[in-house]
């Protein structure tokens, strides 16, 4: 098991429970994983708010929220299993927020109309992570799980048939690389936000592990679909997330109607404020999905010139709520805003802007369809299997569930659910395994070890002029300039050229630290290389996909909803016809295969049998 966030810990639990020994590798103590940063909540239909919420509606919202770009049977199964997962977390002792009568509370989130998000204050991810972390520690105490913390996954060990037979990993203290045999390997290595330099992600969310598997032959899907979270605090080290729960709990996004209005926001009267989300999308208002909100903020700032003080920020306003309400519902993150911004979000509107937040794309994973239910088979070794035999992937590093845009509070769900499913898949595989890794010759491991040692030597011996940290900053600038909220082909060509140059420059990298003890520069340099490889996958997919879908927005190919027209109007019917024709061409998974000359990309169809795409998304 590589990675110890929600996905990795769930998979670990399931495999241990099935009676198989698990070795759990992580770059740091698993309790510090990026899942802790998820704030707002986790979606599951509990229908505790008298809204007659239904699992079917959760399925529809997820598929439509993702702009129809995801395999649908797994989505169906995930939404069906969500209430059971929440109940399990509740039994683990997770401190979900309660209603006055002591049952689990639910709040509103984006892209939906019902209150469907269970939460633990505004630190839900941290609470869920700790819940499974404790269960894993219990199994560790019982000898069922062995942790390898402070170890970095460096590569897969493949046998002559291309099947995965273990991994190599580097001890981050001694910097020694070791090979580990395994009958099955699961990657749950998280997102890739650091490819963009600054993002809402943790400093270890580089995507390097997924990139390494990709470079060894695993296919990478839908790389161009990167979520830009609409409400983050800009910063020069990181963009800190202000949860979608702010909008779900009634937060309003606005700018002054008058460009260059420098008055204190509280002194600006209601009728001189432009609540653009409420005006443009009256049906959903501030809780439109993230891709819609990010594009709107981008438009207001970049095209209408209405950013506050001419800068790239707009207001996210909670100041109309009583302090006590905000403290119990959002305290954790408002505290963070106050710490980092030095302003009081209880009384003053916050300043926010979209930031890179989540990768819908990832390692291509399979599933077995259950023809009787139309969902995914509960247990099958095919579920979450990558294209490399013996290798599975779950959590953000896989490509499932979210299509072209992820709904808020669906990530804690997909991380947990996919971890459970992948764990079950591996346990099922292990029960039937005929040829174990013990039959793989030692030479396969030695060969891979030698490759890794040579790679480390060549980097530490490098005496060129390139600094790995500078290369990362430049990669981030390039990606944020050309592969951001709004994209165009000329810019994407520039990005691809820039990436090629960075690749070349990487070969002249030299380190200020050539030692063999806790050498963070070496580990970082290796990750930079792997980030550059992923950047190319993202940019190339974006370049080739000439349409707008979810988070991927290329205005030159936009099919605009006719203004003021709704179902029944001929203009609407005409729009739907064009939309369907576009789907014929582009409603395909982008599949990247690694070659030394850059990714080879093909577009493949997928299963849309649960909710055939008849109606375009419309959040007006």
Partner 1 sequence: MSSEIKFKIKRQDGPNNSPYWEEFAMPYAPSHNVVSALMYLREHPINTRGERVRPVVWDCNCMEEVCGACTMLINGVPKQSCAALVDDLAQPIVLEPLTKFPVVRDLQVDRSRMFDALRMTKAWVPIDGTYDIHVHAPIIDPKVQQERYEFSRCMTCGCCMEACPQYHPDSAFVGPAPLGQVYLHNAHPTGRFFRDDRLHSIMGEGGLTDCGNAQNCVQVCPKNIPLTTAIGGLGRQTTMQMFKDIFMK
Catalytic residue IDs: 290
Quick check: 10 binds partner 1 (CB under 8 A)? yes
Which one of 7, 14, 292, 529 is in contact with partner 1 (CB under 8 A)? 14
Quick check: 518 binds partner 1 (CB under 8 A)? yes
Quick check: 304 binds partner 1 (CB under 8 A)? no
Q: How far is the CB of 569 from partner 1 (least distance, A)?
A: 46
Quick check: 36 binds partner 1 (CB under 8 A)? yes
359-418 positions binding partner 1, by CB under 8 A? none
Q: For residue 170, give the nearest of 452, 378, 418 by alpha carbon.
A: 452
C-alpha distance from residue 487 to each of 374, 424, 481, 483, 533 (Å): 36, 40, 9, 6, 20
Quick check: 130 binds partner 1 (CB under 8 A)? yes
Q: For residue 198, give the nearest of 229, 237, 232, 241 by alpha carbon.
A: 237
DSSP 458-515: HHHH--SSB-HHHHHHHHHHHHHHHSSSS--HHHHHHHHHHHHHHHHHHTTB--S---
Quick check: 464 binds partner 1 (CB under 8 A)? no
Quick check: 47 binds partner 1 (CB under 8 A)? no
C-alpha distance from residue 596 to each of 71, 90, 503, 523, 593 (Å): 29, 48, 11, 22, 10
Q: How far is the CB of 73 from partner 1 (least distance, A)?
A: 20
255-274 positions binding partner 1, by CB under 8 A? none
Spatial separation of the C-alpha atoms in residues 174 and 536, rounded to whole Å: 32
Quick check: 348 binds partner 1 (CB under 8 A)? no
Q: Which stretch binds partner 1 (CB under 8 A): 25-33, 255-263, 500-508, 538-546?
A: 25-33
Matching residue, tokens 């989505």: 75
The DSSP H or E segment spanning 435 is: none
Q: For residue 156, give the nearest of 444, 518, 533 by alpha carbon.
A: 444
Spatial separation of the C-alpha atoms in residues 136 and 30, rounded to whole Å: 10
Cβ nearer to partner 1, comparing 370 with 474 = 474
C-alpha distance from residue 425 to each of 40, 364, 368, 517 (Å): 29, 16, 10, 38
Spatial separation of the C-alpha atoms in residues 110 and 290, rounded to whole Å: 7
Quick check: 614 binds partner 1 (CB under 8 A)? no
Which one of 339, 439, 443, 465 is in contact with partner 1 (CB under 8 A)? 339
Q: For residue 386, give the nearest of 186, 208, 196 by alpha carbon.
A: 186
Q: Which stretch binds partner 1 (CB under 8 A): 197-205, 260-268, 272-280, 568-576?
A: 197-205
Quick check: 312 binds partner 1 (CB under 8 A)? no
Q: Which stretch binds partner 1 (CB under 8 A): 466-474, 500-508, 584-592, 601-609?
A: 466-474
Cβ nearer to partner 1, comparing 94 with 542 = 94
In 479-514, which positions are buried (b, 16+ CB within 10 angstroms) versus exposed (e)?
bbebbbbbbbeebbebbbebbeebbebbeebbbeee
Cβ nearer to partner 1, comparing 103 with 559 = 103
Quick check: 236 binds partner 1 (CB under 8 A)? yes
Total residues found in the chain within this entry: 620
Spatial separation of the C-alpha atoms in residues 148 and 142, rounded to whole Å: 16
**Adjacent-strand bridge partners of 149:** 26
Quick check: 140 binds partner 1 (CB under 8 A)? yes
Cβ nearer to partner 1, comparing 92 with 576 = 92
411-450 positions binding partner 1, by CB under 8 A? 420
Q: For residue 410, give the nearest of 116, 154, 194 by alpha carbon.
A: 116
Q: Compose the 94-113 pattern: x for residues touching partner 1 by CB under 8 A, - for all others.
A: xxxxxxxxxxx---------
Which one of 88, 117, 386, 418 is in contact with partner 1 (CB under 8 A)? 88
470-509 positions binding partner 1, by CB under 8 A? 470, 473
Spatial separation of the C-alpha atoms in residues 253 and 316, rounded to whole Å: 5
DSSP 4-56: -SHHHHHHHHHHHHTT--EEEEESS-GGGSGGGG--S-EE-----SSS---HH
Quick check: 544 binds partner 1 (CB under 8 A)? no
Is 228:484 a contact under the CB 8 Å cutoff? yes
Q: Which stretch binds partner 1 (CB under 8 A): 254-262, 286-294, 398-406, 469-477?
A: 469-477
Cβ nearer to partner 1, comparing 206 with 359 = 206
Quick check: 33 binds partner 1 (CB under 8 A)? yes
DSSP 92-151: TT----B-TTSSBPEE--TT-SS--EE-STT-HHHHHHHHHHHHHHHHHHTTSEEEEETE
Q: Which stretch binds partner 1 (CB under 8 A): 136-144, 268-276, 352-360, 558-566?
A: 136-144
Q: How far is the CB of 399 from partner 1 (least distance, A)?
A: 24
Q: Which stretch binds partner 1 (CB under 8 A): 28-36, 317-325, 430-438, 540-548?
A: 28-36
Please, what is the angle between helix 411-432 and helix 72-91, to 10°? 100
Q: Compose the 554-593 pattern: x for residues touching partner 1 by CB under 8 A, - for all others.
A: ----------------------------------------
**Adjacent-strand bridge partners of 248:** none
Quick check: 21 binds partner 1 (CB under 8 A)? no
Cβ nearer to partner 1, comparing 98 with 585 = 98
Quick check: 85 binds partner 1 (CB under 8 A)? yes
Which one of 261, 370, 486, 513 is in contact with partner 1 (CB under 8 A)? 513
**Adjacent-strand bridge partners of 24:** 147
Quick check: 460 binds partner 1 (CB under 8 A)? no
Quick check: 520 binds partner 1 (CB under 8 A)? yes
Quick check: 20 binds partner 1 (CB under 8 A)? no
Q: Which stretch binds partner 1 (CB under 8 A): 380-388, 465-473, 490-498, 569-577?
A: 465-473
Quick check: 72 binds partner 1 (CB under 8 A)? no
Q: Compose the 271-290 pattern: x for residues touching partner 1 by CB under 8 A, - for all others.
A: --------------------
Task: With CB under 8 A as the rule, give the number of residues binding partner 1.
Answer: 73
Give the other-Cβ count within 10 Å of 29's Cβ.
Answer: 12
Quick check: 618 binds partner 1 (CB under 8 A)? no
């Amino acid at each position: 098991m590589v990675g110890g966030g929600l996905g990795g810990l769930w998979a670990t639990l399931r495999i241990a429970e099935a009676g198989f020994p698990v070795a759990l590798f992580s770059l740091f103590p698993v309790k510090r994983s990026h899942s802790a940063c998820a704030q707002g909540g986790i979606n599951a239909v509990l229908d505790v708010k008298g809204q007659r919420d239904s699992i079917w509606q959760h399925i529809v919202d997820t598929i439509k929220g993702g702009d129809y770009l995801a395999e649908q049977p797994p989505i169906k199964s995930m939404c069906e299993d969500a209430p059971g997962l929440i109940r399990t977390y509740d039994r683990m002792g997770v401190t979900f927020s309660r209603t006055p009568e002591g049952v689990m509370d639910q709040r509103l989130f984006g892209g939906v109309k019902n209150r469907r998000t269970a939460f633990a204050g505004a630190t839900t991810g941290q609470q869920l992570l700790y819940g499974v972390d404790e269960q894993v520690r219990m199994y560790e105490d019982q000898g069922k799980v062995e942790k390898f913390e402070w170890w970095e996954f460096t590569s897969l060990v493949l046998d002559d048939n291309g099947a995965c037979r273990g991994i190599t990993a580097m001890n981050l203290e001694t910097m020694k690389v070791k090979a580990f045999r395994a009958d099955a390997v699961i990657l749950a290595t998280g997102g890739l936000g650091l490819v963009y330099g600054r993002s809402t992600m943790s400093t270890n969310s580089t995507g390097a592990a997924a990139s390494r598997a990709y470079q060894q032959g695993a296919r990478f899907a839908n790389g161009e679909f990167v979520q830009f979270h609409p409400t983050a605090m800009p910063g020069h080290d990181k963009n800190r997330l202000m949860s979608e729960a702010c909008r779900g709990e009634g937060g309003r996004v606005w700018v002054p109607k008058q460009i260059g209005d420098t008055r204190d926001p509280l002194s600006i009267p209601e009728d001189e404020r432009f609540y653009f989300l409420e005006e443009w999308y009256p049906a959903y208002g501030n809780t439109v999905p993230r891709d819609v909100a990010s594009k709107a903020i981008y438009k207001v700032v970049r095209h209408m010139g209405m950013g506050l003080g001419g800068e790239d920020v707009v207001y996210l306003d909670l100041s109309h709520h009583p302090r006590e309400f905000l403290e119990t519902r959002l305290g954790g993150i408002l505290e963070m805003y106050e710490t980092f911004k030095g302003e009081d979000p209880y009384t003053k509107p916050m300043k926010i802007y979209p930031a890179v937040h989540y990768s819908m794309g990832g390692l291509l994973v399979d599933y077995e369809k259950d023809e009787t239910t139309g969902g995914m088979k509960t247990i099958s070794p095919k579920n979450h299997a990558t294209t490399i035999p013996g290798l599975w992937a779950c959590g953000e590093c896989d490509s499932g569930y979210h299509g072209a845009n992820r709904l808020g509070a669906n990530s804690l769900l997909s991380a947990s659910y996919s971890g459970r499913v992948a764990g079950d898949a591996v346990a099922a595989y292990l029960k039937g395994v005929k040829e174990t890794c013990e039959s793989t010759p030692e030479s396969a491991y030695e060969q891979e070890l030698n490759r890794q040692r040579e790679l480390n030597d060549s980097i530490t011996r490098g005496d060129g002029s390139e600094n790995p940290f500078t290369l990362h900053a430049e990669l981030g600038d390039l990606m944020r300039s050309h592969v951001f909220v709004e994209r165009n082909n000329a810019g994407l060509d520039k990005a691809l050229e820039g990436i090629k140059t960075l690749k070349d420059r990487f070969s002249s990298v030299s380190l200020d630290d050539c030692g063999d003890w806790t050498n963070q520069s070496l580990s970082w340099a290796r990750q930079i290389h792997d980030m550059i490889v992923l950047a190319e996958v993202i940019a190339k997919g974006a370049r080739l996909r000439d349409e707008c879908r979810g988070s991927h927005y290329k205005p030159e190919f936009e099919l605009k909803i006719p203004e003021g027209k709704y179902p029944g109007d001929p203009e609407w019917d005409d729009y739907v016809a064009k939309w369907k024709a576009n789907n014929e061409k582009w409603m395909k998974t982008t599949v990247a295969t690694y070659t030394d000359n850059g990714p080879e990309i093909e577009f493949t169809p997928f299963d849309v049998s649960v909710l055939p795409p008849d109606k375009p998304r419309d959040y007006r």
